[in-house]
Structure 1
Amino acid sequence: MNYKNIAVAILAACLLSACSGTEKPADLTGAHQKKQTGEFSQVCEKQLSGDIRLSGNLKAYNEVNIFPRANGFVKEIYADRGSVVKKGQLLLRLEAPEMESQLQAANSRFVQAQENAAASKDKYQRLKEAAKEPGAVSPLELDNALSRMKADQAISLSEHSNVSSVRTLQGYLNIYAPFDGTIVQRNVSPGALVSPGKSTDQPMLVLQDTKKMRLEVYIPENYVDKVDLSKPVSFTFNAMPSLVQQAKISRSANALGSMRSEAIEIDVRNEKNQLKPGMYAEVKIPLLSGAKSLLVPNTAIVRSTEAQYVVLVKSGRAKLVNIKEGLISKDSTEVFGDLRPGDALVKQANDEIKEGQKLN
């Protein structure tokens, strides 16, 4: 029994000795944090490369959705999808029986107005001859005849204009090609009822001119003032990677769109019809030789759901600066923001570093 008490006393003494020891476990978390915040780099300013590579989209030089200009039924269709048509070629013929009735009614009114105008003129001429005999015709009667003649002539001209208007509407029943091109869509069949529609409605036909194409490229806002418009651009199409072409920028929008970029267009010849609207291209845009940019290490950029930023070192403390990314290389990224060449920043940044935090 005594031996058991002695063993318990020895065990308690060992535990008390361990708790009162001066050795502490190593603080690995602190060492790791120090390594993260202790590696610094600088914002570098370098001259931009001679060009930037952007994606482009090929579009038809001219494209039109063909809608009817009058209500009617499709009577005959003279072009289908894939048909190559010439300017002024008849594409569709509509029929509208009520329009023929309108034309006959307008003609009848015009003939009647012509007869009335002729009768009024004849009456005025006879009264004018009779008025040569003193007292045969009163001046008032002659003036009334003149007024009646002019009124009937005006009515006749009005009815003639009405006939021309109805004939013009009747001419809308024939649909002609506005330019040379290819029909790429056909959405109606004979017997279909069609009417003038809005741009959101489905067109009867879609016509594209693909002899010359527009290569549309969107220049990001940060490069708009750095593009060299005097030099040609080179481009290759994804469907034909071995074919490299060159051309000058034909036109630019001179305004930023909804994506904060400026649209430019490059005219591309398509004599052999190898190119199709909708093709994607890789476009090399030349930049001005004096343009420079700010570069930071790829690891210095922190990307969160709210923003992209880098951590500057100001008086030993962290300052978060929002940036926009530009071109990205293997080890550095072009950035735009409130930065200056030579600014110190955290090389291995992360979202655990807070504004104003002391950096080692």
Structure 2
Amino acid sequence: MRNNLAKAIVFLGTTALVAGCQTSAKQNDAVAEKLPVIETFAPKKEILTTELRMPAEITGFQQVDIYAKVSSYVKELKADIGSQVKKGQLLMLLEAPELSSQLAAAQSRLRSQEAVYTASRSTYNRLFETSKVEGTVSRNDLEVAEARKNSDFAQYQAAKAAYTEIQTLLGYLQIRAPFDGVVATRNVNHGAYVGPAGKGSEAPLMTIQQQNKLRLSVYVPEQYSGYLKNGSALQFSVKSLPGQTFSATIARMSGALDSKLRSERVEMDVINAGNKLLPGMVAEVQLPLTAKDSTYVVPKTAVVTSSEGTFVIVVADHKTSRLPVQKGRVLEDRVEVFGAISDSTQLVKLATEEIPDGTSVK
């Protein structure tokens, strides 16, 4: 009897334990079924290539405004707007009658000083030769003659410099092209007064542009400047030539950001075959932005930007947590992110601010 009673008690205890375990498992399953189902994904690295379209300005590779060096009048025009000119070609003749008078006066002073110096030098040479015979010439007379010779030589050199200066000023009356190019503007006519000061200097006489080779300049925002480098090829277009694209190569980068625009100046050299492009045109440049290294690219819906910052939602052990990230470039429905992310990280695909940290998910 006692053995049968013990067996009955053990059986009833085992049955109760099994029933309790089954009840607990059912409760856990019920709780798991109530947890929200959230779609997650593992981020992958990619080398993202995008394009940035920016307005750019086309200018002549070389451009110079020509002004008059001396006060004068326009005597003759040798070139006009649109003229193709070569380096050293005469563009304009100016006239300054007072310079001719100054040149004649300087020439007379030069000849006079030359004669004075020649005489004093001869006197000194004779005294020097005579002084070799002891007692014929006093030492003081010889020193005075030498001093006079040196003084006359200095006056002669000053007269020569003054004469050369007037000759140089006369050379400024001939305006010549500094390089091969095109006359873009002409602001004077025959007889106009020009000079380094006054109304004659308000506008340049002419503007010369080199148009067979052009300069394409664009200001690239700070966040994109790191993607560009010298030698990168790109395409651009202009509104005046619809349907046509032109190529260029990055030749120079300023290496510094403009203090006002917070952008870096990038210049490209353009060979203007057929002179289709003109300085002053506004172009639209397609700048290729290719990352140097692979970066994590995720769907836009996985990144949340709020007053608390930019973050993604990570799922670990069925619990959510917010991970701060920085956004990079955006391409259609994808975006670059930078942060403490790895290939094994599970991110919520449809992230929202309504998912707090510690949320249990299935």
Asked whether the two chains share a fold, i.e. TM above 0.5, the reply is yes
Distance in 1 between the 2:335 and 2:278 partners? 35
Deviation track 1:113-143 (CA, whole Å, cap 9, x = no partner) reads 1111011122223323433444332222122
**Letter matched to residue 135 of structure 1:** G
Q: Helix, strand or coil: the match of 2:244?
A: strand
**Letter matched to residue 262 of structure 2:** R
Specify the alignment match of 2:74 in structure 1.
74
Q: 1:88 to 1:271 in 2, by over 3 A?
A: same
Query: How far off is 1:210 after superposition?
Result: 0.9
Identity among equivalent pairs (%): 31
Distance in 2 between the 1:324 and 1:257 partners? 24
Counterpart contact for 1:61–1:209, Cα < 8 Å: yes
Deviation track 1:179-231 (CA, whole Å, cap 9, x = no partner) reads 0000111112222333258xx95222111001111222222211222235454
Q: Is 1:165 aligned to 2:165, yes or no? A: yes
Specify the alignment match of 1:151 in structure 2.
151
Query: How far off is 1:244 after superposition?
Result: 3.6
Specify the alignment match of 2:266 in structure 1.
264
Query: How far off is 1:237 after superposition?
Result: 3.5
Counterpart contact for 1:46–1:295, Cα < 8 Å: no
Distance in 2 between the 1:345 and 1:214 partners? 46
Specify the alignment match of 1:187 in structure 2.
187
Distance in 2 between the 1:120 and 1:228 partners? 70
Query: How far off is 1:80 after superposition?
Result: 1.3
Specify the alignment match of 2:290 in structure 1.
287
Deviation track 1:273-328 (CA, whole Å, cap 9, x = no partner) reads 11112241332424135253777759x9999xxx9x869999x9x9x99x998546
Query: How far off is 1:238 after superposition?
Result: 3.5
Counterpart contact for 1:312–1:346, Cα < 8 Å: no
Q: Helix, strand or coil: the match of 1:282?
A: strand
How many equivalent residue pairs? 308
Q: Is 1:227 aligned to 2:228, yes or no? A: yes
Larger Rg: 2
Q: 1:230 to 1:93 in 2, by over 3 A?
A: closer
**Letter matched to residue 52 of structure 1:** E
Distance in 1 between the 2:187 and 2:336 partners? 49
Alignment RMSD (CA, Å): 4.0
Q: 1:344 to 1:167 in 2, by over 3 A?
A: farther
Distance in 1 between the 2:327 and 2:197 partners? 47
Alignment map for 1:207-356 (pairs within 5 Å): 207-227=208-228, 229=230, 231-258=232-259, 259-277=261-279, 278-292=281-295, 297=300, 327=330, 329=332, 331=333
Query: How far off is 1:176 after superposition?
Result: 0.8
**Letter matched to residue 164 of structure 1:** T
Distance in 1 between the 2:150 and 2:107 partners? 21
Distance in 2 between the 1:334 and 1:206 partners? 48
Query: How far off is 1:270 after superposition?
Result: 1.2
Deviation track 1:246-290 (CA, whole Å, cap 9, x = no partner) reads 443211111111411212222111131111122413324241352
Distance in 2 between the 1:196 and 1:46 partners? 65
Structure 2 residues without counterparts, runs of 5 or longer:
1-39, 315-319
Q: Helix, strand or coil: the match of 2:92?
A: strand
Counterpart contact for 1:54–1:217, Cα < 8 Å: no
Alignment map for 1:21-36 (pairs within 5 Å): none
Q: Helix, strand or coil: the match of 2:73?
A: strand
Deviation track 1:4-47 (CA, whole Å, cap 9, x = no partner) reads xxxxxxxxxxxxxxxxxxxxxxxxxxxxxxxxxxxxx99x8874
Specify the alignment match of 1:53 in structure 2.
52
**Letter matched to residue 49 of structure 2:** G
Alignment map for 1:62-141 (pairs within 5 Å): 62-141=62-141
Q: Helix, strand or coil: the match of 1:135?
A: coil
Structure 1 residues without counterparts, runs of 5 or longer:
1-40, 354-359
Q: Helix, strand or coil: the match of 1:248?
A: strand
The more displaced of 62-71 and 231-240 is: 231-240
Query: With structure 1 as the length reference, what TM-score do the two structures score?
Result: 0.69
Q: Helix, strand or coil: the match of 1:203?
A: coil
Specify the alignment match of 1:3 in structure 2.
none
Query: How far off is 1:163 after superposition?
Result: 0.7
Query: With structure 2 as the length reference, what TM-score do the two structures score?
Result: 0.68
